[in-house]
Structure 1
Amino acid sequence: MQHEPELLSPAGNWDCARAAVANGADAIFFGLSKFNARLRADNFTDEDLPELMEFLHAHGVKGFVTMNTLIFTSELAAAEAQLRHLEQSGVDAIIVQDLGLARLARTVAPSLEIHASTQMTITSPEGLEFIDSLYHLERAVLSRELSLKEIEKFSPKECVPLEVFVHGALCVAYSGQCLTSESLGQRSANRGECAQACRMPYELVVDGETKDMGEQRYLLSPQDLAAVDLIPDLVNQGVVSYKIEGRLKSPEYVAAVTRVYRKAIDDAVAQRESTVTERDRYSLEMTFSRGLSTGWLAGTNHPYLTHGRFGKKRGVRVGTVENCGRGWIILNQEGPVGLAPGDGIVFDAGENRNLEQGSRVWKVEGNCLSFHHKHSKINWDRIKPGIVIYKTDDPKLNSEVRAMWKNVKLEPLRSGLNITVTGCVGEALILSCNGISVSSAEKLEQAQNRPLTTETLVDKIGRLGNTAYELGSLDNQLEGDLILPLSALNRLRRALVEKLDQQAAAEEKAAPKPATGRLADVLPSAEQLSQATEQAAELSALTRHPHQIEAALENGIKRIYADFEDIRRYKEAVEIVRAHGGDATIHLATPRIQKPNETGYFKFIDRSAPDGILIRNLGAVTYFKGRDELYKTGDFSLNCANPATAKLLIEEAGLDHLTLSYDLNINQLMDLLQAAPANWFEQTLHQHMPMFHMEHCVFCTFLSEGTTYKDCGRPCETHKVQLRDRVGQLHTLAADVGCRNTLFNGRAQTGARFYDSVRSTGLHRYRIDFLDEDKTTTARTLQAYQQLIEQKRDGHMLWQDLGALEKLGVTEGTLEAKTPHSPK
Structure 2
Amino acid sequence: MPKLIPKRFSSQEGNSRQVSKPELLSPAGDWECARAAVENGADAIFFGLERFNARMRGKNFTVADLPELMAYLHSRGVKGYVTFNILVFGNELRDAEDFLRSIIASGVDAAIVQDVGICRLIRRLSPDFPIHASTQMSVTSEAGVEFARELGASVVVLARETSLKEVGAIREKTIAAGTEVPIELFVHGALCVAYSGQCLTSESLGGRSANRGECAQACRLPYELYSDGKQVELGNRRYLLSPQDLSGLDAMPEIIENGVATLKIEGRLKSPEYVAAVTKVYRQALDKAWESYIGETEKNLVPFDRQAGKYALEMTFSRGLSDGWLHGIDNQKLVHARFGKKRGLRLGVVKSVEKDGVTLLLEAPLKAGDGVVFDRGRPDEKEEGGRIISVDTKGADSYIRFLGDSINWNRVKAGHTLFKTSDPLLDKELRQSYQVEQPNFTRPVKAVVHGEPGKPITLELQDELGRTVRSESSEPLQTAAKRPLDLDTLQKQLSRLGNTPFHLESLDNRLQGNCHFPVSQLNQLRREAVESLIELRRQPLRWTLKERANATGIQNKKEKDQAKTKPQIIPYLRSFEQLETALSLPYDELYLELEDPKKYKQAVELTHSSHPNKKIWVAPPRMFKTGEDWVIKQLTQCGADGFLARNHEHLKSLSDFRLRGDFSLNVSNPLTAEYLIDRYKLERLTASYDLNATQLAALIERAPPKWFEITLHQHMPMFHMEHCVFCSFLSEGKDFRDCGRPCDKHSVSIKDRTGMTHPLKADAGCRNTVFNAKAQTGAEFARDLLDLGIRTFRVEFLNESPQEVRETLDRYERLLAGQLSGQSLWRELKLINQLGVTRGTLRER
Task: Please report the TM-score for the alignment, with normalisation by the length of structure 1.
Answer: 0.90
Correspondence list, 1:796-815, <5 A: 796-815=823-842
CA 1:734–1:477: 2 relative to 1, 3 Å:
same
> 2:326 maps to which residue?
297
SS at structure 2 position matched to 1:362: strand
2:689 pairs with 1:673: no
Paired residue type of 1:45? T
Deviation (angstroms), 1:474: 5.9
> 2:543 maps to which residue?
512
Question: Which of 743, 751, 755 is residue 782 of structure 2 equivalent to?
Answer: 755
2:121 pairs with 1:92: no
CA 1:265–1:552: 2 relative to 1, 3 Å:
same
Deviation (angstroms), 1:553: 2.4
Correspondence list, 1:140-289, <5 A: 140-155=156-171, 158=175, 159-271=180-292, 275-289=304-318
Deviation (angstroms), 1:112: 2.5
Paired residue type of 2:706? N
- 2: CA distance, partners of 1:463 / 1:708: 56
Q: 8 Å contact 2:493–2:523 — kept in the other structure?
A: no
2:593 pairs with 1:576: no
- 2: CA distance, partners of 1:498 / 1:236: 36
> 2:9 maps to which residue?
none
Q: 8 Å contact 1:555–1:783 — kept in the other structure?
A: no
Q: 8 Å contact 2:129–2:544 — kept in the other structure?
A: no
- 1: CA distance, partners of 2:385 / 2:470: 69
Correspondence list, 1:399-798, <5 A: 399-407=428-436, 409-410=438-439, 416=445, 421=450, 429=456, 431=458, 476=510, 493=525, 504=536, 508=539, 511-516=542-547, 518=549, 520-521=550-551, 523-526=553-556, 528-529=557-558, 533-534=562-563, 535-581=565-611, 583-625=613-655, 627=656, 630-798=657-825
2:380 pairs with 1:359: no
2:135 pairs with 1:118: yes
Calculate percent identity across the aligned residue pairs. 44
> 2:146 maps to which residue?
129
Deviations for 1:179-235, whole angstroms, at most 9, x for unmatched residues? 000000011111111100001011112212222221111111111111100011010
CA 1:423–1:513: 2 relative to 1, 3 Å:
farther
Q: 8 Å contact 1:198–1:221 — kept in the other structure?
A: yes
SS at structure 1 position matched to 2:147: helix
Deviation (angstroms), 1:533: 4.1
SS at structure 1 position matched to 2:36: helix
2:358 pairs with 1:348: no
Q: 8 Å contact 1:130–1:621 — kept in the other structure?
A: no
> 2:464 maps to which residue?
none
- 1: CA distance, partners of 2:171 / 2:343: 37
Q: 8 Å contact 1:143–1:175 — kept in the other structure?
A: yes
> 1:29 maps to which residue?
46
CA 1:55–1:546: 2 relative to 1, 3 Å:
same
Deviations for 1:383-433, whole angstroms, at most 9, x for unmatched residues? 3322222222222322232222224732796884755746898xx758596
SS at structure 2 position matched to 1:248: coil
Deviations for 1:699-726, whole angstroms, at most 9, x for unmatched residues? 1111112221112111111211111100
Deviations for 1:56-78, whole angstroms, at most 9, x for unmatched residues? 11111111111111111111112
Deviations for 1:780-805, whole angstroms, at most 9, x for unmatched residues? 11111111112222222212211212
Deviation (angstroms), 1:89: 1.2
Paired residue type of 1:146? T
SS at structure 2 position matched to 1:154: helix
- 1: CA distance, partners of 2:643 / 2:166: 26
CA 1:359–1:567: 2 relative to 1, 3 Å:
same
* Aligned residue-pair number: 803
Q: 8 Å contact 2:487–2:509 — kept in the other structure?
A: no
> 1:390 maps to which residue?
419
Paired residue type of 1:114? I
> 1:310 maps to which residue?
339
Task: Please report the TM-score for the alignment, with normalisation by the length of structure 2.
Answer: 0.88
Q: 8 Å contact 2:494–2:523 — kept in the other structure?
A: no
Deviation (angstroms), 1:508: 2.5
Unmatched 5+ stretches in structure 1: 819-824
Q: Pick which of 342-351 and 756-765 moved more.
A: 342-351
2:356 pairs with 1:327: yes
Question: Which of 405, 410, 413 is residue 375 of structure 1 equivalent to?
Answer: 405
CA 1:189–1:481: 2 relative to 1, 3 Å:
closer
Q: 8 Å contact 1:127–1:622 — kept in the other structure?
A: no
Q: Pick which of 219-228 and 700-709 moved more.
A: 700-709
Q: 8 Å contact 1:687–1:769 — kept in the other structure?
A: yes
Paired residue type of 1:89? S
Q: 8 Å contact 1:222–1:305 — kept in the other structure?
A: yes
CA 1:770–1:357: 2 relative to 1, 3 Å:
same
CA 1:467–1:116: 2 relative to 1, 3 Å:
closer
Unmatched 5+ stretches in structure 2: 1-16, 296-302, 461-466
CA 1:388–1:440: 2 relative to 1, 3 Å:
closer
Deviations for 1:322-376, whole angstroms, at most 9, x for unmatched residues? 122333322133x3x1332232222223235314322332332224535447432
Q: 8 Å contact 2:194–2:719 — kept in the other structure?
A: yes
Q: 8 Å contact 2:21–2:256 — kept in the other structure?
A: no
SS at structure 2 position matched to 1:345: strand
Paired residue type of 1:279? A
Paired residue type of 1:610? A
CA 1:604–1:437: 2 relative to 1, 3 Å:
closer
Q: Pick which of 366-375 and 55-64 moved more.
A: 366-375
SS at structure 1 position matched to 2:680: coil
Deviation (angstroms), 1:809: 2.2
Q: 8 Å contact 1:523–1:647 — kept in the other structure?
A: no
Paired residue type of 1:580? S
- 1: CA distance, partners of 2:425 / 2:103: 40
CA 1:326–1:590: 2 relative to 1, 3 Å:
same
Deviation (angstroms), 1:153: 0.9
SS at structure 2 position matched to 1:38: coil
CA 1:577–1:340: 2 relative to 1, 3 Å:
same
- 2: CA distance, partners of 1:210 / 1:597: 36
Q: 8 Å contact 1:574–1:608 — kept in the other structure?
A: yes
CA 1:562–1:496: 2 relative to 1, 3 Å:
same
Deviation (angstroms), 1:698: 0.7
Q: 8 Å contact 2:138–2:195 — kept in the other structure?
A: yes
> 1:822 maps to which residue?
none
CA 1:55–1:306: 2 relative to 1, 3 Å:
same
SS at structure 2 position matched to 1:271: helix
SS at structure 1 position matched to 2:278: helix
- 2: CA distance, partners of 1:179 / 1:586: 27
Q: 8 Å contact 1:460–1:489 — kept in the other structure?
A: no
- 2: CA distance, partners of 1:415 / 1:277: 25
CA 1:316–1:84: 2 relative to 1, 3 Å:
same
Deviations for 1:473-509, whole angstroms, at most 9, x for unmatched residues? 566476x8899x979987995998599579939x926
Q: 8 Å contact 2:242–2:337 — kept in the other structure?
A: yes
Q: 8 Å contact 2:593–2:619 — kept in the other structure?
A: yes
Q: 8 Å contact 2:224–2:752 — kept in the other structure?
A: yes
